[in-house]
Amino acid sequence: MNATFDLKTAISNIATRWKYKCDEVNPGVFRVDVAIKMKDGSFRYQFVWVWIIAGRHFGKDVVYMNSRCGEYNANLNHYKLLKEGGYGTYASVTITTDKRKDGTDCESVIVQAVQPVEHTSEAILNEALYDVAYNADIIEESYFGGDNN
């Protein structure tokens, strides 16, 4: 494990540098509201959830982050959605088990990054965090009708 990496400190430093809103919603679980600058100078915002999962990568700890794009449904253009996965540097597009706001089960399309802690620095976390937010925002806008998450 990268003994010098502290997720809370790294996330706090990134949030301060870029003026992102960041909340520790549970111990060790962070919700970061990433600001994405548009071509016209305006900003869009995308929530990214970040935490450490012990033992996920061949028994090693990882920094896991994801951002919800929308609820999966069979009418999505699967070909185009899979192609979107090719734009991420750190991020990938996947489907995960989720809950609707009313608590009922569903599946959601998310963008995620899984970074081994031992290979993570604040600089890498900064890049991965933005990559997840940016790609999730594009997918949310393109396939789910706008900024919903």
Distance separating alpha carbons of residues 133 and 41, to the nearest angstrom: 17
Going from the C-alpha of 129 to that of each of 72, 74, 81, the distances in angstroms are 23, 28, 20
Q: Convert the pLDDT of each residue in 46-75 to its tens digit.
A: 999 999 999 998 999 999 999 999 999 999
Distance separating alpha carbons of residues 114 and 134, to the nearest angstrom: 16
User: Which domains does the chain possess?
Assistant: 7-144 (3.30.1460.10)
> Among residues of the chain, what percentage have pLDDT more than 90?
82
Mean pLDDT along residues 118-124 = 95
Whether residue 149 has pLDDT greater than 60: no
The pLDDT assigned to 112 comes to 97
Say which residue the tokens 């003994």 belong to.
Answer: 3
- Can you give the pTM of this predicted structure? 0.92
Q: Convert the pLDDT of each residue in 88-116 to its tens digit.
A: 899 999 999 999 999 999 999 999 999 99
CA-wise closest residue to 126 among 84, 90, 86:
90
The pLDDT assigned to 147 comes to 65
Token pair, residue 66, equals 């994801």
Band (pLDDT 50/70/90 cuts) for residue 1 is very low
> Among residues of the chain, what percentage have pLDDT more than 70?
95
Strand 92-99 relative to strand 21-26: parallel, antiparallel, unpaired?
A: unpaired
Q: Enumerate the β-bridge partners of residue 110.
A: 68, 94
